[in-house]
């Protein structure tokens, strides 16, 4: 029996916020203990800059740095550093040198990260320059507190309380972003309410911008193209109507009066029912340039989305290219075309969007999705760095071999006024921020790749695990294995071989390949994408079909267009393939499909076992939370396998091989 005193003591320890904070995931990858007064006394942190961002850098080191003296130095002589920095061992301490205060802040977080990873810093001399100027999160948060495709609770932004009441999570959020180099955020949903531009909301936005500023974060807003008409009392929102452009100019002036470092607008126009310039017979360029003109005097930007498609007879995968390529060269300098990584919509695997590289005289940026709309919400463990890398490393051949999407968008191959990269956030008010503890890794990975797209998925995973769980070698290795398997597993159990968009209607959780809605849009129906019939299945995008392959530069058009050279991973994306077609494995397409679905299920079972083995190395709270999510994932994987195989079997009219997990 424990004595009463001991019981009380244990109880206090268990309930102490410190212990809970460590186990509930709220600290993300920033699990540093504050230094004691004695430790602080042993070292000095000095800064040559006294700007708010530099002071933030100093404060972070004051609070958490346990190493030798650090000097934060603004060195204007440094060329081409942008927001980068150098960290140098001076013989007795460290120097962080940067051109701008933001560089000092990122350097400070780098030091803390190295400390967290247990690295020896004597003799260190490293230089970091970010790959992209703007590293931006897109929140799809609505003004009523809900989040479109958000799976981590309601919105962080408490619009009803702002600007009077300030949640401590605003600063914690900004700090987390700054620690991985994210320097901009779009606060509201791309399906934007015009209300965000009302004066009362702008004051709320200002309150957030004021909190984010010392963390080096700029605020952007999604706008509704019909705002002049809806909230401005203008007759229409035609971009060529002088009253409309005057309204926007005045609105932008008001915004900059309120938020002097405002970033600009993100625009979803003429897409999925949103208003846009085409409502008035104008083009995307007319719309974007009118806004760009208003923002130009303040150095503001327009991020104009290329996610456009309509229910026509044309293949949805081709439409963005068809709409935007003819407009190349017509966009103002401060417009960036924001393009989703794939031509459909954030599927578990897609080929890259053929618009990349095809726009030669317009700036392009990638839009990824961190929130797992099509990847099991926050129930499934899916590490997204391999997906992000797959896109960034894709060679488009637009300017010859080696024209990767990374190089096309980071300024290497196409000079741009500003380069940028974006991703749809997975953050909400859940205690652990992202619903699944491992979904934190995807936020982290986006930030790290936006800073340096040459980092490998493995490197990022190692960093994140060391900072978030422990640096114990065997644990890092085991968790890394789990993470690195997870993306391919989800592709296998959901949509192997290039299948896509066979999700349950609208909410996109779970399979519904049979799905149909009377009167519903064909391009939202699964059969539109899988085209299963008694001959085979897949989307014929070759010259005999929609010819989407022709939107890719040679030799990709031929590689994708030929069934013998098209990679297995994209086969059903580009081809309608007969059930008896011989795959590279020697199996028929039908057999291969069965084996891939089964492999996905078996991979998740392995993830479960691997996690279970870590029971004594991870705190019990996070261990149990991840364990129970993996149970859901395993159940869902079986659901996907059974649903899809039983459905497609009705077309294939062939048995499911007996070595596939049963019952099917």
Cβ 253 to ligand GCU shortest distance, Å = 28
DSSP code for 551? G
DSSP code for 395? B
CB atoms within 10 A of CB 645: 18
Cβ 346 to ligand GCU shortest distance, Å = 7
| CB nearer to ligand GCU: pick between 175 and 305 | 305
| Structure token digits, residue 18 | 């410190």
Cβ 509 to ligand GCU shortest distance, Å = 12
Contact present, 169 and 429 (Cβ < 8 Å): yes
| CB nearer to ligand GCU: pick between 84 and 194 | 194
Greatest Cα-to-Cα distance within the chain, rounded to the nearest angstrom: 82
Q: What residues form DSSP beta bridges with 338?
A: 305, 365
Cβ 208 to ligand GCU shortest distance, Å = 22
Q: Helices in 405-555 by DSSP H: which ranges?
A: 405-409, 440-451, 457-468, 473-494, 526-530
Q: Helices in 122-198 by DSSP H: which ranges?
A: 168-179
Q: Is 592 one of the annotated active-site residues of the chain?
A: no
Cβ 373 to ligand GCU shortest distance, Å = 6
Contact present, 490 and 379 (Cβ < 8 Å): no
Contacts of 14 (CB under 8 A, 6+ apart): none
Give 197-235 as a 3 state SS string: HCHHHHHHHHHHHHHHHHHCCEEEEEECCCHHHHCCCCC
Q: Say whether 167 sits in a helix, a strand or coil.
A: coil
Cβ 424 to ligand GCU shortest distance, Å = 7
Helix-, strand-, coil-residue percentages of the chain, each rounded to 5: 45, 10, 45
| CB nearer to ligand GCU: pick between 254 and 272 | 272
Choose among 272, 499, 519, 464: nearest CA to 374: 499
Contact present, 275 and 231 (Cβ < 8 Å): no
| CB nearer to ligand GCU: pick between 39 and 272 | 272
| Structure token digits, residue 521 | 């849009």
| CB nearer to ligand GCU: pick between 288 and 660 | 288
Q: Is 373 one of the annotated active-site residues of the chain?
A: yes
DSSP code for 655? P
| CB nearer to ligand GCU: pick between 102 and 268 | 268
Which chain residues interact with ligand GCU by CB under 6 A?
Answer: 148-149, 190-191, 268, 272, 307, 345, 373
Contacts of 192 (CB under 8 A, 6+ apart): 221, 222, 223, 224, 268
Cβ 540 to ligand GCU shortest distance, Å = 24
Cβ 575 to ligand GCU shortest distance, Å = 25
| CB nearer to ligand GCU: pick between 270 and 394 | 270
Which position among 39, 144, 161, 272 bears the catalytic label? 272
Instruction: Look at the alpha carbons of 249, 255, 261, 265 in this order and tell me if their dihedral is positive or negative.
Output: negative
| CB nearer to ligand GCU: pick between 191 and 550 | 191
Q: Give the separation between CA 469 and CA 476, rounded to whole angstroms.
A: 8
**Location of structure tokens 């099917």:** 664
Q: Is 463 one of the annotated active-site residues of the chain?
A: no
CB atoms within 10 A of CB 286: 18
Which position among 101, 133, 238, 373 bears the catalytic label? 373
Which position among 60, 345, 557, 636 bears the catalytic label? 345
The residues annotated with a catalytic role in the active site are 272, 345, 373
């Amino acid at each position: 029996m424990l004595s009463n005193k001991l019981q009380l003591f244990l109880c206090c320890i268990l309930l102490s916020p410190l212990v809970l904070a460590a186990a509930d995931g709220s600290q993300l990858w920033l699990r540093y203990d504050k230094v004691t007064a004695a430790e602080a006394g042993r070292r000095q942190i000095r800064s040559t800059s006294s700007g708010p961002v530099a002071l933030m850098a100093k404060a972070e080191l004051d609070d958490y740095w346990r190493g030798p003296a650090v000097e934060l130095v603004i060195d204007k002589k440094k060329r081409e550093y942008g927001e980068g920095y150098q960290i140098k061992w001076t013989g007795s301490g460290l120097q962080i040198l940067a051109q701008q205060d933001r560089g000092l802040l990122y350097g400070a977080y780098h030091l803390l990260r190295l400390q967290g990873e247990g690295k020896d810093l004597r003799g260190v001399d490293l230089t970091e320059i970010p790959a992209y100027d703007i590293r931006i999160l897109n929140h799809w948060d609505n003004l009523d507190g809900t989040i479109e495709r958000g799976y981590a609770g309601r919105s962080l932004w408490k619009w009803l309380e702002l600007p009077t009441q300030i949640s401590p999570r605003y600063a914690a959020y900004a700090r987390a972003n700054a620690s991985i180099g994210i320097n901009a955020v779009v606060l509201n949903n791309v399906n934007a309410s015009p209300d965000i531009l009302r004066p009362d909301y702008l004051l709320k936005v200002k309150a957030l911008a004021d909190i984010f500023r010392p963390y080096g974060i700029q605020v952007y807003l999604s706008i509704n193209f019909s705002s002049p008409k809806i909230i401005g009392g203008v007759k229409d929102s035609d971009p060529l109507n002088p009253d409309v452009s005057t309204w926007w100019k005045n609105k932008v002036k008001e915004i900059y009066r309120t938020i002097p470092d405002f970033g600009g607008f993100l625009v979803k126009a003429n897409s999925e029912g949103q208003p846009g310039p085409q409502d008035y017979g104008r083009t995307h360029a007319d719309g974007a340039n009118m806004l760009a003109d208003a923002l130009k005097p303040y150095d503001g930007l327009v991020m104009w989305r290329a996610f456009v498609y309509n229910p026509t007879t044309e293949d949805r995968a081709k439409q963005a290219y068809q709409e935007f390529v003819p407009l190349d060269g017509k966009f103002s300098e401060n417009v960036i075309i924001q393009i989703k990584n794939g031509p459909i919509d954030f599927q578990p695997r897609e080929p890259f969007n053929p618009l990349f590289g095809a726009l030669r005289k317009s700036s392009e940026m990638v839009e990824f999705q961190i929130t797992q709309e099509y990847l099991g919400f926050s129930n499934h463990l899916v590490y997204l760095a391999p997906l992000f890398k797959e896109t960034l490393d894709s060679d488009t051949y637009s300017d010859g071999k080696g024209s990767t999407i990374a190089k096309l968008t980071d300024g290497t191959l196409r000079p741009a006024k500003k380069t940028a990269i974006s991703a749809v956030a997975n953050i909400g008010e859940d205690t652990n921020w992202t619903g699944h503890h491992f979904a934190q890794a995807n936020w982290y990975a986006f930030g790290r790749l936006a800073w340096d797209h040459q980092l490998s998925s493995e490197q990022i995973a190692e960093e994140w695990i060391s900072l978030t769980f422990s640096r114990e070698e065997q644990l890092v290795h085991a968790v890394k294995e789990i993470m690195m398997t997870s993306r391919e597993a989800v592709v296998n159990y959901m949509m192997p071989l290039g299948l896509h968009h066979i999700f349950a209607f609208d909410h996109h959780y779970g399979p519904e390949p049979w799905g149909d809605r009377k009167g519903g849009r064909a391009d939202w129906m699964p059969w539109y994408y899988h085209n299963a019939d008694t001959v085979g299945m897949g989307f014929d995008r070759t010259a005999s079909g929609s010819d989407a392959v022709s939107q890719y530069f040679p030799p990709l058009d031929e590689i994708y267009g030929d069934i013998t050279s098209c990679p297995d991973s994209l086969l059903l994306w580009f081809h309608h393939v007969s059930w008896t077609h011989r795959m590279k494995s020697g199996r028929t397409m039908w057999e291969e499909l069965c084996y891939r679905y089964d492999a996905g299920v078996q991979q998740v079972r392995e993830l479960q076992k691997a996690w279970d083995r870590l029971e004594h190395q991870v705190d019990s709270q996070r261990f149990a939370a991840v364990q129970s999510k993996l149970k859901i994932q395993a159940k869902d994987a079986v659901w996907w396998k059974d649903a899809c195989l039983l459905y497609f079997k009705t077309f294939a009219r062939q048995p499911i091989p007996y070595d596939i997990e049963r019952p099917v």
